[in-house]
Amino acid sequence: MRRSAAFTIATLLLVPVLLLRAQGTPPPTPLTLISREGRRAVPTVMQSGQELIALDDVAALFQVMVAEDAPTGGVTVSYRGRTIVLSAEQSIASVNGRIVTLPGPMTRAGRRVMVPVEFLSRALAPIYDRRIDLRRASRLLIVGDMNVPRVVARIDAVGPPTRAIIEVTPPAPVTVASDTGRAIVRIDADALDLTLPAGSGLIEQIRAGDQPNTVTLVLAGGAGTPRTTTATNDGAARVTIDVPAVPAAGADTAAATPPALPPPTDTLPVGAPRPRFAVIAIDPGHGGADTGVKTSDGLEEKELTLDVARRVRQRLETRLGVRAILTRDEDKALTLDERAAFANNSKADLFLSLHANGALGPGITGAEVYFLSLDREGETVRRTATADAVSLPVLGGGRRLVEVVPWNLAQAAYIDKSATLAGMLEEELRRRVPMSPRAVQRAGMRVLTGANMPAALVEMAYLTNRDQAMKARGDEFRNAVADAVYEAVARFRTAAIEKPTP
């Protein structure tokens, strides 16, 4: 491409600034394109609350031509003789001569031109010869004549029996099959536009299934065979799935018959009482496109946290007999709020978030335990409450970003207990793995603020330290961390049961 010297120099000067401004961060859940050809992730970035897509990605996905108009700074997108003209700094596009509005103007990130994702549905769709349907809430971009019903699930009764209701709009034939520990809902469709709640009661998790037209209900230990009824009315198919508890061994027949649930209603039921300190929520940090800290030789924080979380779960369930639930048991992205909400919805008695750290200085090393700060650092957080993250100084130099929310705190009521828990974690970790000089810290961490139970966050090592990164690959280190977490939970539980609070 030929450019004038003045234009090139101006571009070179602007590039660093624009790169910084336009880089953005990937969205928590990537956008997925669904078409007859299959599914693929669509690369987008979030910037100032807006989701942007690069026009060269649009060109590759939709076989359109993109031409820059250097003198005006505008861009022309063409497809089979039809054209879209974007002007610099204007939140509009001319689509075959007709003006449509966009939520923001096109921007540049280095040499790439970025546009709001709504460009696809508002500007490209009118000139494209296949349907383009952007469903941002469910992160789907549907291209062509695809049958993608909306599927909304909810937990209607915690039980037991635990009742899940799944509504399919427009209605489509549905079958439900169950095998060990799960129920699979299959809907006659090309793909599903899903809205799924966190698990609760005997349904540990409701998630997208392995096939694009299935939903999987992961059942808790102690769940019996689910019973299903289906009805179609008001333009929707409604599937009711009741998961009973397996009767205890030796129970008589009368007790073995699960109580009948009332007909489904839209009111929230009151959960049955259950033993104290029965559920521990473990939150493996990061997941999906969010890898967390990554070492030069390819170890990713998201993989380490999930593996250690599973080791902790195995210890808690086999040695302590409590239920340990993971906020994610696969490689998928979750927002920080979803993690806390999962623990709250599951009525967990304890919330532990697992992470590994990174720092600019390769010498910084050792495990750290965090619990929520309400005092001086809390003030910093409060002042910057509109930001998504605040930068806090790190011992040994540098700063790190800590995600925050405005100060509406479920966690506030549990700060003392969380401090006790953090202290126990620190003691047990110290017996097994290297510790940072500041082993227990308080910070305004968003994943902790919404947790409605004692909560702490463990940074098990600094992956930016060579020795720690190497050890973190091995079983020895992972088991040491899992043992430490297990011991701390066991101690905390004993103390909580022996000294119950009203």
Contact residues for Zn ion, defined by CB under 5 A: 285, 292, 355
Spatial contact of 203 and 162, defined as CB atoms under 8 Å apart: yes
Residue 55 has phi, psi (to 5 degrees) of -65, -30
β-strand partners of 402: 390
Minimum Å gap between C-beta 51 and Zn ion is: 23
Minimum Å gap between C-beta 169 and Zn ion is: 38
Distances (CA, A) of 346 to 145, 158, 209, 318: 39, 9, 21, 20
Neighbours of 28 (CB within 10 A): 17
Q: With H, G, I as helix, E, B as strand and everything else as coil, classify residue 58.
A: helix
Closest to Zn ion by CB, 323 or 355: 355
Closest to Zn ion by CB, 109 or 447: 447
Closest to Zn ion by CB, 117 or 433: 433
Minimum Å gap between C-beta 307 and Zn ion is: 14
Region at 94 (left for phi over 0; alpha for psi -120 to 50; beta for the rest):
beta
Closest to Zn ion by CB, 178 or 305: 305
Minimum Å gap between C-beta 292 and Zn ion is: 4
For 184-197, give the DSSP string. EEEESSS--EEE-P
Contacts of 30 (CB under 8 A, 6+ apart): 41, 42, 43, 44, 139, 288, 289, 333
Minimum Å gap between C-beta 280 and Zn ion is: 20
Closest to Zn ion by CB, 163 or 355: 355
Q: With H, G, I as helix, E, B as strand and everything else as coil, classify residue 147.
A: coil
Spatial contact of 320 and 251, defined as CB atoms under 8 Å apart: no
Minimum Å gap between C-beta 442 and Zn ion is: 17
Closest to Zn ion by CB, 342 or 370: 370
Q: With H, G, I as helix, E, B as strand and everything else as coil, classify residue 279.
A: strand
Minimum Å gap between C-beta 478 and Zn ion is: 16
Closest to Zn ion by CB, 158 or 448: 448
- Cis peptide bond upstream of 170, omega within 30: yes
Minimum Å gap between C-beta 265 and Zn ion is: 41
Euclidean distance between CA atoms 460 and 436, whole angstroms:
10
Spatial contact of 231 and 212, defined as CB atoms under 8 Å apart: no
Distances (CA, A) of 428 to 354, 422, 443, 485: 15, 10, 21, 7
Minimum Å gap between C-beta 463 and Zn ion is: 9
Minimum Å gap between C-beta 139 and Zn ion is: 23
- What does DSSP assign to residue 161? S
Closest to Zn ion by CB, 190 or 290: 290
Closest to Zn ion by CB, 104 or 285: 285
The amino acid that residue 64 corresponds to is V
Distances (CA, A) of 143 to 126, 131, 443: 13, 5, 45
What is the chain's length? 502
Closest to Zn ion by CB, 172 or 435: 435
Spatial contact of 348 and 456, defined as CB atoms under 8 Å apart: no
Closest to Zn ion by CB, 261 or 356: 356
Distance separating the N- and C-terminal Cα atoms of the chain: 74
Residue nearest to Zn ion (CB): 355
Contacts of 272 (CB under 8 A, 6+ apart): 158, 159, 160
Minimum Å gap between C-beta 119 and Zn ion is: 33
- What does DSSP assign to residue 223? B
Beta strands in 148-233 (DSSP E): 150-157, 162-169, 174-179, 182-187, 193-195, 203-208, 214-219, 227-233
Closest to Zn ion by CB, 151 or 356: 356
Euclidean distance between CA atoms 237 and 251, whole angstroms:
37
Spatial contact of 485 and 458, defined as CB atoms under 8 Å apart: yes
Minimum Å gap between C-beta 433 and Zn ion is: 17
Closest to Zn ion by CB, 118 or 301: 301
Minimum Å gap between C-beta 486 and Zn ion is: 21
